[in-house]
Structure 1
Amino acid sequence: MRLIHHPVLCNYYVTYRCNASCNFCDIWEKPSPYVTIETVTQNLNDLKKLGVKVIDFTGGEPLLHRQIDQLLALAKERKFITTLTTNGLLYPKYAQRLKGKVDMLHFSLDSPEKEEHDSGRGVACFDQVMESIQIARSLGERPDILFTVFEHNVHQIEKVWGNICLPNGLVLILNPVFEYKGVETGKSLSAQTLETLLYWSKQKQVYLNEAFISLRQDGGNHIANPVCKAASSTIVISPENKLLLPCYHLGIDQIAIDGNLFDLYHSESVQKLIALEGRLPACEGCVINCYMQPSFAVEMNKYFWKALPSTLKYNYLKGTWKQLF
């Protein structure tokens, strides 16, 4: 049963450029402009009219956008929940300007070992993450650690949690790795690893959407009966100011917004593409977290109930639960 009939999330790519070269991502390989204040202002107004609640300013590395603090301020003025994930390289430089503008601030950290983390990210950034944690805390911010889980690092969760997160009062977000478009991410997560993740999801100061695990155990999205609601729950905007459909990772169509996002979204051509969500051949077996999470939130099914406790837990820890209603 569909509970919410409008998009709830916007993945807003402020640039595809990045100052890292993570070995499990290809976004940084793309040439890219930066979004402008003018187009973001227009789109935020329309996103509000469309019912969107959360704006994820993403990339690439979003802090490469020199006006990122102004973009966040525009979103906060319109009462959006804001989220931003960074590799930490530029956070010390911009921390003061970002203060109070990011509801969910994530620092990416995939290993407690400097050499291993830096190798996976393709650039030395471990020390900057450690520095960013201290700067953020000194400013009264409450960042999270976003730990992307692979087969090769699942055993390191405990050390990151115990040595970095708990002493600093941080939430540890466990982000199971996913494959897309042939991007090499190593071995698929084993059944044993999925069980390990379920154990960690029950620990204090740890957030893992348990529906992510259930979906993987079920073989991912199935086009005959899709759980994916990517296009109807999430709006994806590119740095070129185009609407990406049905999602960024599939990217079948890119339609110029031209200052008219609200009407474009409701147009017949876009609605036809939205109707294909989760039903295309490439959608079979998909488990992409950034689209499944909002998909679980808008339709009542077994994944909705699996996701609910962890979602409430995280929003309680972050103090954002009131903004969801």
Structure 2
Amino acid sequence: MRLIQKPILCNYYVTYRCNATCHFCDIWEKPSPYIKVQDVEANLLALKKMGVKIIDFTGGEPLLHREIDIFLKLAKDLGFLTTITTNGLLYPKKAKALKGLVDMLHFSLDAYNKEIHDKARGVACYDFVMQSIDIAHQLGERPDILFTAMNENMNELEDVYTKICLPNNLVLIINPVFDYNEVETGGGLTAENLEIISKMGRKKNVYLNEGFIQLRKDGGNKVIDPVCKAASSTVVISPHNELVLPCYHLGKKKFPIEQKLAALYETREVQQLIALEGRLPECEGCAINCYMQPSFAVELNKYFWKALPSTFKYNTMKGMWKKALFK
């Protein structure tokens, strides 16, 4: 049963460029422009009209955009919840400008061991994450640590939790790695490692969407009965100011927005593509977190119930319920 008919999230790609070269991601390989203020302003007004609640300014590395603080301010002024994930390289320089503008600020950290983390990211960013944590605290911010869980770094998870998150009172977000396109991620997490992170997810100051675990145990999305609601729950906007459908990772069709996002979204061609969400041949077995999380929130099924306790836990830890319900 469908609970929410409107999209709730916008994945707004400010650029595909990145100052890291993570081996489990291929976004940084794409040539890319930077989004423009006038387009962002028009699109945010349209997204508000469409019912979207959360704007994830993403990339690439979103802090590469020199006007990222302007985008965040525009979103906050319109009542959106905002989120950014950064590798930390630029946060120390931009922290003051971002203060109070990011509701969910995530610092990526995949190992307690500096060499392991920096090797995975392809750039020496570990020290910048540590510096970013200190600066964020000094500014009264409440960042999270986002740990991309892979078979190769599972032995780092406990140390990140006990030696970094707990002493700094940070929420540890466990992000199970997912396969897509031709990106080499090691074939996904083993059953043993799924159990390890599931147990970790029950600990204090840890967020793990249990729907992710269940979906992987079930073999991912099934085209015959799709759990994926990527296209109807999430609006994807590219750095080229295009509406991308059915999701960023497939990107089967791109529509120029031309400051007419709300009208474009209701066109027959767009709605026909939305209706194919989770049903395309490439959708079989998909478990991409950034689209499954909103999918779990809009449809009443077993994944909704699996995700609900962890979602409630995170919102309680972050004090987000009032903002989420009344914005």
What interval of TM-score do these two structures reach, taking the shorter chain for normalisation?
over 0.9
Cα displacement string for residues 272-313 of structure 1 (whole angstroms, at most 9, x for unaligned residues): 000000000000000000000000000000000000010011
CA distance in 2, matches of 1:144, 1:321: 17
Given that residues 234 and 294 in structure 2 are in contact (C-alpha distance below 8 angstroms), is that contact kept between their aligned partners in structure 1?
yes
Show the counterpart of 1:191: 191
1:138 paired to 2:138 = yes
Structure 2: which 5+ runs fail to align?
Answer: none
Q: Residue by residue, what CA displacement relative to the aligned partner does 1:50-98 show, whole Å, maximum 9, x if unpaired? A: 0000000000000000010010000000010000000000000000000
Q: Secondary structure at the match of 1:153?
A: helix
Corresponding residue number in structure 2 for 1:59: 59
Give yes or no for the alignment of 1:308 onto 2:308: yes
State yes or no: 1:150 paired with 2:150.
Answer: yes
1:207 counterpart letter in structure 2: Y
Distance in 2 of aligned mates of 1:90 and 1:201: 29
Give the ranges of 4+ consecutive aligned residues of structure 1 lying more than 3 Å apart after TM superposition: none
Q: Distance in 2 between matches of 1:88 and 1:102?
A: 14
Measure the CA separation in 2 of the matches of 1:188 and 1:202: 21
Q: Whole-Å Cα distance in 1 between the matches of residues 268 and 187 of structure 2?
A: 41
Q: CA deviation at 1:320?
A: 1.1
**Aligned ranges 1:113-132 → 2 under 5 Å:** 113-132=113-132
Aligned-partner Cα distance in 2 for 1:119–1:140: 31
Amino acid at match of 1:237: I
Q: 2 CA distance for matches of 1:294 and 1:112?
A: 30
CA displacement 1:105-161 (0-9 Å, x = unmatched): 000000001111000000000000000000000000000000000001112111000
Give the fraction of aligned pairs with identical amino acids, expressed as a percent. Answer: 67
Paired residues of 1:208 and 1:310 also in contact (CA < 8 A): yes
Tell me by how many angstroms 1:322 deviates. 1.4
Q: Within 5 A, what are the aligned runs for 1:215-230?
A: 215-230=215-230
Quote the residue 1:69 is aligned against. Answer: 69
Q: AA paired with 2:119?
A: S
- Code of the aligned partner of 1:224: I
Contact map agreement 1:151 1:187 (CA 8 A) in 2: no
Which residue does 1:285 correspond to in 2?
285
- 1:1-325 matches, cutoff 5 A: 1-325=1-325
The unaligned stretches of length 5 or more in structure 1 are none
Could you tell me the TM-score, scaled by structure 2's length? 0.99
| Count of residue correspondences | 325
User: Could you state the TM-score of these two structures normalised by the residue count of structure 1?
Assistant: 0.99
